Chain A
Amino acid sequence: MIIFAILITLLILLFTGVPIFAGLTLFGGALLLMTQGNFGPITDVVFHEVNRYLLVAIPLFGFMANIMIRGRVVDDLYDTAYTFTRHLPGGLAVATILACTIFAAISGSSVATAMTIGAVAIPQMLRFGYDERLAYGVVAAGGTLGILIPPSGPMILYGVTTDTSIGGLFMGGIIPGAVLAGVFILWAVVRSALSGNMQREKMASLREMVIALRKSFWSILMPVFVLGGMYAGIFTATEAAAAGAWLALIITIFIYRTVGWRDIWFSAQESARMSAMLFMILAGATVFSHVLTKMRVPQQLVESLVAADLGTIGFVIVMMVMILILGMFLESVAIILITAPVILPAMIHLGIDPVWYGVLLVVNLEMAMITPPVGMNLFTIKAITAAPMGRIVAGSAPYVVLMLVVMILLIAFPQIVLWLPSRLM
């Protein structure tokens, strides 16, 4: 089928080492030349795709996360989580997952979550005699929650590409995110209890818990403010990002007094850098999907699906397997931008809820982040610890299985994803 030939050729091109944005643009451009003899007004298509008001949320959420990291507001988060979990077997591992879960609701990025929490948590766990593989696995997997628990950069991109409600996607990610965090915690506790070589402390008193909560009040307030504002219908996703960024500035400048003009400038620089990286890929993907549409590839895909009589679940399973394989080699943003526009007509034809599919896609992309050979969180842990990659992969492997189980649950019971959006929107 033509779509597979195109995807395989694109993959081969990307494997030759060209930047993804260039590979997508060139391949799309070459297809345009082959099919219509000229490029047409392709930059106009790119211009209109990049200039989307909703996309402004990406640099602003990035700015918010950078300010919170530079302001060291999240440093207290780990201590607070540990205060609550220190009596459990593997208390530090559980605290790490909890801290990742809360930080995920601030950062919107898996790599940022793994890097920020990992830098604090891994040395602590190793100091207290935790198995290296457990320590690496917990941070790698906990970090992946960054893109599932809102705000989420990939969800924004998916929402913009498929015209799906970003608020709906954000809400759809909350329960699966909490389920995944719960499953990770359960696994960490069971594995720690079975190994039985870790120190445990006595349970924190109520007073200690209150003090810990007060210390991390501001970091916990951020997601409540941003997401609460969106769900209450006060902010749009973009306004929520701006309001969150302003709140981060207020907290770090006036309360923590840890952020100055330099930090603001550097945070804005980081935000501009990340946006350029993402939006150049978006531009390339726009060229690519534009030509696929011109070639009627999505329509052909729909026709093939109808002929194959896969049904909704069959289609979703086929897509998830394909994305799982792609995720081993490609970066999550590229996967979203390459696949979503192609399969959108098929989704519409089969009556698949785009919020449900979007959340499944993001869970799948979470797995991609900890599966070799290309897993961004694996590289992040490697960068933090300089540990052998084999050990990091071995530590992360059980979490891939857990994510797979949760994904199967989400496919079997779409209401886990759709219940909250249906209640709140």
Chain B
Amino acid sequence: MSTPLSDTRSPVGHPDLPEPLRHFERGVTFLVNLAFGLATICVLVDLFLLGASVVARYMITRPITWSDEIVALSLTAITMLAAPKVLLDKGHIEVDILTEQAQGTLAIVIRLWSSLAVLAVALLLIFNGWFTAMFSRMIGLLTEGYLELPLWIFQLLLPLGGVLLLPVILLQIAQTLFVWRSTTSTKTASPDTTDEGSNAP
């Protein structure tokens, strides 16, 4: 069990990436890092709020009634804002004991299949998440607890997570296809190559 691709197989940072793909990569990295920064801030806010809550409860006996609710709601934010960064860094856990043996075209197909699976999840988050949030808004659902905030605002974090995952997936698909094309053209240029797929991801 490990992360999806080892660095040696990753096409990220490929020296021959075409300029538009490089720009896209930079844009995606910027967007994902921004979201990841917000997730990091959420962790620090949780730490501060819970620390303050413990002090308020036990030292000045005036508990902060809403802190537990806020930190619980922040978990979706942390997950959805940080998941694209984990995907970009190929950090999501997968079972790779069979797939890591794959080479050449098979390895490319596995990469594409993996990206398409994540794409399907992202689309599910976007569409199902959006309809769920809009339904909650329509019937006026509120969060449980003291604050009673509109639930749909927090539920929108799920489609937001899907939207943030999309460019990362598209980037990874584009990179995989680029490596596939360059591998194929290398093989065409040197037909005597016997080590089939040795440069493949």
| 65-103 of chain B: CB within 8 A of chain A | 68-69, 71-76, 78-79, 81-83, 85-87, 89, 91-99
Q: What DSSP secondary structure best describes chain B's contact surface?
A: helix
Known: A22-B118, A243-B54, A276-B83. A50 touches B43 (CB 8 A): no
The reply to whether A273 and B110 contact each other, CB–CB distance below 8 Å, is no
Tell me, yes or no, whether B173 is within 8 Å of chain A by CB.
Answer: no
Known: A22-B121, A23-B117, A243-B51. A47 touches B39 (CB 8 A): no
User: Of the candidates B2, B41, B78, B86, which one forms a contact with A59 in the assembled complex, judged by CB atoms under 8 Å apart?
Assistant: B78
Residues of A within 8 A of B158 (CB): 43, 46-47
Q: Output the residue of A41, A272, A334 with the most chain B CB within 10 A.
A: A272
Residues of B within 8 A of A41 (CB): 128, 131-132, 135
Tell me, yes or no, whether A331 is within 8 Å of chain B by CB.
Answer: yes
- The tally of CB-CB contacts under 8 A between chains A and B is 199
Q: Kindly state the separation between the CA atoms of A279 and B86 in the bound complex, as whole angstroms.
A: 12
Tell me, yes or no, whether B114 is within 8 Å of chain A by CB.
Answer: yes
Tell me, yes or no, whether B179 is within 8 Å of chain A by CB.
Answer: no
Residues of B within 8 A of A279 (CB): 75, 78-79
Residues of B within 8 A of A273 (CB): 36, 82, 85-86, 89, 91
Tell me, yes or no, whether A423 is within 8 Å of chain B by CB.
Answer: no
Q: Kindly state the separation between the CA atoms of A330 and B82 in the bound complex, as whole angstroms.
A: 23
Tell me, yes or no, whether A235 is within 8 Å of chain B by CB.
Answer: yes
Task: Across the interface, name the chain A residue whose C-beta is closest to B94.
Answer: A19
Q: Kindly state the separation between the CA atoms of A269 and B37 in the bound complex, as whole angstroms.
A: 8
Known: A56-B72, A242-B50, A275-B75. A20 touches B93 (CB 8 A): yes
Residues of B within 8 A of A175 (CB): none
| 110-134 of chain B: CB within 8 A of chain A | 110-111, 113-114, 117-118, 120-121, 124-125, 128-129, 131-132
Minimum Cβ distance to chain B for residue A241 (Å) = 8
Minimum Cβ distance to chain A for residue B4 (Å) = 6
Task: Across the interface, name the chain B residue whose C-beta is closest to A368.
Answer: B1
Q: Output the residue of A51, A239, A241, A376 with the most chain B CB within 10 A.
A: A51
Known: A19-B92, A23-B117. A50 touches B85 (CB 8 A): no
Q: What band does the interface of chain B fall in when counting residues whose beta carbon is under 8 Å from A?
A: 35 or more
Minimum Cβ distance to chain B for residue A269 (Å) = 5
Tell me, yes or no, whether B21 is within 8 Å of chain A by CB.
Answer: no
Known: A56-B71, A330-B1. A21 touches B82 (CB 8 A): no
Q: Kindly state the separation between the CA atoms of A50 and B131 in the bound complex, as whole angstroms.
A: 19
Q: Kindly state the separation between the CA atoms of A332 and B51 in the bound complex, as whole angstroms.
A: 30
The reply to whether A373 and B43 contact each other, CB–CB distance below 8 Å, is no
Residues of A within 8 A of B147 (CB): none
5 residue pairs bridging A and B, Cβ less than 8 Å apart: A20-B95, A39-B128, A268-B43, A272-B81, A275-B82
On A, residues with C-beta under 8 Å from B are 14-23, 25-26, 29, 39, 41-44, 46-47, 50-53, 55-56, 59-60, 63, 234-235, 238-239, 241-243, 245-246, 264-265, 268-269, 271-273, 275-277, 279-281, 283-284, 329-331, 333-334, 373-374, 376, 379
Apart from A50-B76, A59-B46, A279-B79, 16 more pairs, CB < 8 Å: A16-B99, A17-B110, A20-B92, A23-B94, A41-B128, A47-B132, A50-B79, A52-B75, A56-B46, A60-B43, A242-B53, A245-B47, A268-B41, A272-B42, A273-B82, A275-B43
On B, residues with C-beta under 8 Å from A are 1-2, 4, 36, 39-44, 46-47, 50-51, 53-54, 58, 68-69, 71-76, 78-79, 81-83, 85-87, 89, 91-99, 110-111, 113-114, 117-118, 120-121, 124-125, 128-129, 131-132, 135-136, 154-155, 158
